[in-house]
């Protein structure tokens, strides 16, 4: 464990071990609710938050606490706007995401042209987990606790709403509040992980472990366990590999997640889960 | 002796400016098998949703004297890859706390018993997304039957179910009504099933067009009131064929 001799590696490793499983678990619900592009839109829109923070001099650099606060506010505002548009208009979900995404990115590009020094944005685009401060470790630990607390306290409601929202409503779940709280949670997670993982990579950490878990799991419980487990393994092996291969840590973590997904897809293609029934369409085509 | 389980008086429901139900009054007696028919967009599903509190009435009253209401919603397409098993789905209803993490060992037996009653015990470990339309419909009924309801609402339960599944579902409804003495209100487009199963039929198209015994209601002149014009043909059980309207009576 020579790579843990350096304090910045220790901090990066701790953050990765928290962020990996938490993002994976959150990704389970994001993917099953078909909101993968929602988290992607927020993370890309967050670039505008960064340029806004720098242009308006709300923060001096990408890694400052003031920037974290700016991003939380900006990402939450974008998330709430998109959720409100889903609810109040007849526009398709992908349409709302597309125009929120492109609109905020376009605004970011316009603002960037006003900035002198584009290099300031590199950290926000690709992230730098090795630049994490001791305070960041505490912030990510707090974020992890809040995210897990939210997910586990609302596990029954979130799962029921995946099958059908009306079933959850009859059980007394306030779906509107749940949906808004969920998008705010996604926004806060994206905003606070932006400095470590970058706007272009956060979605990978959230979606890929959940996708791998979905491929392997035969039950919902196993999907939850696998997504957290794959997130943990991907993050830990990513930090470890990046040290030995001398590669950027954030992208290496996502690559490890992608490798896990590929292994899962390979494993599933050679072996059907025990007791798994074939899809009805497949069975019907055989009997026809 | 009359013992109403549901009394609806002058019910009005509107989605924004659009009035879906207008002055609908319905009474269902305990032990009845009632069916709700009407054209698409007539407000049938809205009526059921109003009874269970999913939709708010803009006027009138809904008084339920049921101890427990079970609701089987209209079937929606389900993600075929959703890794939620039948046992996990039913355990979501059996678990009362907000915390849920799969099927507790103590819940497997009650779930198996619930499924056995509706002839679906073999589906306990199957994933919801892998079920056929008829199988999924049975599981939704099993879900609605948890907590032992005395009033069951079914919203077009035979949509997407083939003839064999429909006949088998018919038997299940018979069992629930005759042996468990559950009062049933079912929305259906299947006039054969309605005629065969129900004690009373309500025909609506925003307002109540006619009501009564199926022999009285399922006549071309009454159906014309609700459907606007007589198509001359109606859909057969299972939705796979059409028969002349004249063959109903």
> What is the complex's ipTM, to 2 decimals?
0.83
Tell how strand B33-37 and strand B200-205 pair up: parallel
Contact present, B205 and B42 (Cβ < 8 Å): yes
More confident residue, A27 or B76: A27
- What integer is the mean pLDDT of A144-172? 94
Q: Shortest CB distance from A170 goes to which of B52, B129, B133?
A: B52
Mean pLDDT on A174-182: 95
Size (chain B), residues: 249
Inter-chain Cβ pairs, chain A and chain B, closer than 8 A: 84
Query: What number of other Cβ atoms are within 10 A of residue A282's Cβ?
Result: 10
SS3 for A33?
Answer: coil
- Closest among A109, A93, A105 to A38, alpha carbons compared: A93
Identify all chain A residues contacting B128, using CB atoms and an 8 Å cutoff: 163
Q: With an 8 Å Cβ cutoff, are B89 and A163 in contact?
A: yes
3-state helix, strand, coil in chain B (%, to 5): 35, 30, 35
Q: How far apart are CA A3 and CA B36, in angstroms?
A: 70
pLDDT of residue B98: 83
Enumerate residues 6+ apart whose C-beta is below 8 A from B88: A159, A219, A220, A221, B102, B103
Beta bridge partners of B13: B21
How far apart are alpha carbons A198 and B217 in whole angstroms?
Answer: 66
pLDDT at B236 over 60: no
Lowest-confidence segment of A187-191, A230-234, B158-162 by average pLDDT: B158-162
**Res A283: pLDDT:** 44
Q: Choose among A195, A132, A149: nearest CA to A22.
A: A149
Query: Does B195 or A180 have the greater pLDDT score?
Result: A180
Asked if A120 and A64 touch (Cβ cutoff 8 Å), the reply is no
CA A42, A44, A50, A53 torsion: positive or negative?
Answer: negative
Name the more confident of B231 and B43.
B43
Of A166, A220, A277, the CB nearest to B83: A220
- A36, A41, A39: which is closest to A97 by C-alpha? A41
Q: Poorest-confidence range of A55-64, A79-88, A137-146, B41-50?
A: A55-64
pLDDT in tens, B90-132: 999 998 888 888 899 899 999 999 999 888 999 999 999 889 8
Say yes or no to pLDDT of A22 above 80.
yes
Give the contacts of B15 (CB within 8 A, at least 6 positions apart). Answer: none
Contact status of B232 with chain A (Cβ, < 8 Å): no
| pLDDT class of B150 with cuts at 50, 70, 90 | very high
Is A219's Cβ below 8 Å from some Cβ in B?
Answer: yes
- List, as ranges, residues 76-135 from B with C-beta within 8 Å of A: 76, 78-85, 88-89, 92-93, 95, 97-103, 125-133
Residue of A nearest to B80 (CA): A279
Q: What is the mean pLDDT of residues B52-72?
A: 94
Is B158 a residue whose pLDDT tops 70?
Answer: yes
Q: How large is the average pLDDT for residues A82-102? A: 86
Q: Stretch A21-32: mean pLDDT, rounded?
A: 95
Instruction: Please tell me the predicted confidence (pLDDT) of residue B231.
Output: 52
Strand partners, B243: B234
Question: Which of B123, B114, B168 has its CA nearest to residue B144?
Answer: B114
* Cross-chain residue pair B98–A221, CB shorter than 8 Å: no
> In this predicted structure, what is the pLDDT of residue A2?
76
The region that residue A84 occupies, defined by phi over 0 for left and psi between -120 and 50 for alpha, beta otherwise, is alpha
Let me know the angle formed at the C-alpha of A85 by A80 and A87, rounded to the nearest 5 degrees: 95
CA distance B130 to chain A (A): 5
Closest by Cβ to A32, choosing from B73, B82, B127: B82
Please answer yes or no on whether A164 and B97 come within 8 Å at the CB atom. no
Q: Tell me what pLDDT residue A276 has.
A: 55
Q: Which residue of A has its CA nearest to B128?
A: A163
A14-28, A118-132, B62-76, B135-149: range with lowest mean pLDDT: A118-132
Q: Cβ A155–B97 below 8 Å, yes or no?
A: no
pLDDT given for residue B75 in this prediction: 76
């Amino acid at each position: 464990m020579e790579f843990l001799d350096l304090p910045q590696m220790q901090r990066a490793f701790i953050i990765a071990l928290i962020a990996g499983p938490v993002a994976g678990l959150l990704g389970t619900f994001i993917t099953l609710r078909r909101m993968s592009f929602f988290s992607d839109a927020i993370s890309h829109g967050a670039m505008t938050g960064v340029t806004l923070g720098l242009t308006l001099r709300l923060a001096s650099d990408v890694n400052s606490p003031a920037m974290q606060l700016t991003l939380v506010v900006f990402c939450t505002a974008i998330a709430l706007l998109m959720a409100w548009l889903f609810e109040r208009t007849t526009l398709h979900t992908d349409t709302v995401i597309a125009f929120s995404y492109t609109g905020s990115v376009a605004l970011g590009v316009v603002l960037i042209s006003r900035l002198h020094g584009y290099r300031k944005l590199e950290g926000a685009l690709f992230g730098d987990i090795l630049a994490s401060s001791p305070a960041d470790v505490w912030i990510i630990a707090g974020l992890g606790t809040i995210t897990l607390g939210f997910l586990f306290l609302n596990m029954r409601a979130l799962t029921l709403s995946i099958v059908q929202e009306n079933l959850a409503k009859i059980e007394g779940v306030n779906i509107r509040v749940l949906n808004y709280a969920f998008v705010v949670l996604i926004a806060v997670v994206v905003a606070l992980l932006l400095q470590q993982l970058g706007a272009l990579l956060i979605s990978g950490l959230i979606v890929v472990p959940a996708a791998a878990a979905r491929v392997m799991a035969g039950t919902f419980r196993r999907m939850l366990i696998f997504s957290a487990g794959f997130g943990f393994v991907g993050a830990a092996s990513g930090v470890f590999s990046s040290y030995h291969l001398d590669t950027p840590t954030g992208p290496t973590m996502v690559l490890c997640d992608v490798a896990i997904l590929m292994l899962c897809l390979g494993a599933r293609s050679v072996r059907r889960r025990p007791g798994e029934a074939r899809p009805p369409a497949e069975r019907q085509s055989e009997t026809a | 002796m009359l013992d109403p389980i549901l009394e609806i008086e002058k019910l009005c429901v509107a989605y924004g400016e659009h009035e879906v139900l207008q002055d609908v009054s319905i009474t269902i007696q305990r032990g009845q098998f009632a069916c709700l028919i009407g054209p698409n967009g007539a407000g049938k599903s809205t009526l059921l949703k109003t009874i269970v509190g999913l939709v708010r009435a803009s006027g009138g009253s809904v008084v339920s004297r049921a101890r427990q209401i079970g609701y089987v919603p209209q079937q929606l397409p389900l993600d075929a890859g959703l890794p939620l098993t039948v046992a996990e789905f039913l355990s979501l209803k059996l678990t009362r706390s907000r915390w849920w993490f799969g099927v507790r060992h103590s819940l497997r037996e009650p779930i198996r018993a619930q499924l056995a009653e509706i002839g679906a015990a073999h589906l306990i470990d199957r994933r919801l997304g892998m079920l056929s339309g008829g199988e999924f419909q049975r599981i939704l009924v099993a879900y609605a039957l948890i907590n032992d309801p005395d009033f069951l609402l079914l919203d077009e339960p035979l949509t997407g179910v083939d003839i064999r599944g429909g006949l088998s579902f018919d038997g299940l409804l018979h069992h629930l009504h005759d042996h468990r003495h559950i009062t049933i209100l079912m929305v259906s487009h299947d006039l054969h099933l309605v005629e065969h199963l129900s004690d009373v039929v309500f025909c609506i198209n925003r307002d109540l067009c006619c009501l009564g015994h199926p022999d009285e209601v399922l006549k071309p002149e009454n159906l014309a009131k609700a459907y606007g014009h007589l198509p001359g043909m109606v859909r057969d059980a299972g939705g796979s064929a059409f028969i002349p309207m004249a063959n109903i009576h």
